[in-house]
Amino acid sequence: MVVSAREEASTAGIEMLKLGGNAFDAMIATDLALAVVYPSAGNLGGGGFMVYRLNNDSIGSLDYREKAPLRASKNMFLDNDGNEIKNLSRVGSLSIGVPGTVAGLFATYEKFGSLPLETIFKPAIRLAEKG
């Protein structure tokens, strides 16, 4: 079973399972398809985290949330007197983190993927090209 916010994306994940892929292949294909059919959900410009349990009952997690830019500092939204610069933390390039989704998907694939990466990308490419 694959469940997501859009049927087309869930179908991409199911396709991976039918091809003999594992749950991680299905998750990656579903996430990539969501980036095409439901881009306002964040997707490639966002981040995420995953908690998993493998068949051998080992558990783990992967954190690929957005990260602060390398030059971020604790005072970056304050003026020289230590007062908040209004809206600087909410609007503009300083208000966003570095997206982690793509790195997280590739880390998931490197650790757990079983199908060729080209196969996992195919449903999202097909959706982007043909709807």
> Using the 8-state DSSP alphabet, how is residue 101 labeled?
H
Question: Has residue 2 been placed in a domain?
Answer: no
Question: Has residue 44 been placed in a domain?
Answer: yes
- What are the tens digits of pLDDT across the range 2-41? 999 999 999 999 999 999 999 999 999 999 999 999 998 8
Question: Residue 125 half-sphere exposure, CB side, CA atoms within 13 Å?
Answer: 6
Q: Which domain holds residue 114?
A: 7-65+100-130
Nearest to 104 by CA among 50, 26, 55: 50
DSSP 36-97: HH-GGG-GGGS-EEEEEE-TTS-EEEEEE--B--TT--TTTTB-TTS-B-TTTTTSSGGG-P
Q: How many distinct structural domains can be found in the chain?
A: 1
CA dist 58 and 103 (Å) reads 23
> Do residues 115 and 13 touch, judged by C-beta distance below 8 A?
no
Question: Has residue 105 been placed in a domain?
Answer: yes
- What are the tens digits of pLDDT across the range 38-60? 998 868 999 999 999 999 999 99
CA-atom Rg of the chain in angstroms: 18
Question: Has residue 89 been placed in a domain?
Answer: no
Question: Has residue 20 been placed in a domain?
Answer: yes
- What are the tens digits of pLDDT across the range 54-108? 999 999 999 999 999 888 999 999 999 999 999 999 998 888 899 999 999 999 9
User: Which pLDDT value is given to residue 12?
Assistant: 98
User: Which pLDDT value is given to residue 95?
Assistant: 86
Phi, psi of 66 (to 5 degrees): -60, 150
- What are the tens digits of pLDDT across the range 110-126? 999 999 999 999 999 99
Question: Has residue 93 been placed in a domain?
Answer: no
User: Which pLDDT value is given to residue 128?
Assistant: 97
Question: Has residue 19 been placed in a domain?
Answer: yes
Give this prediction's pTM.
0.86
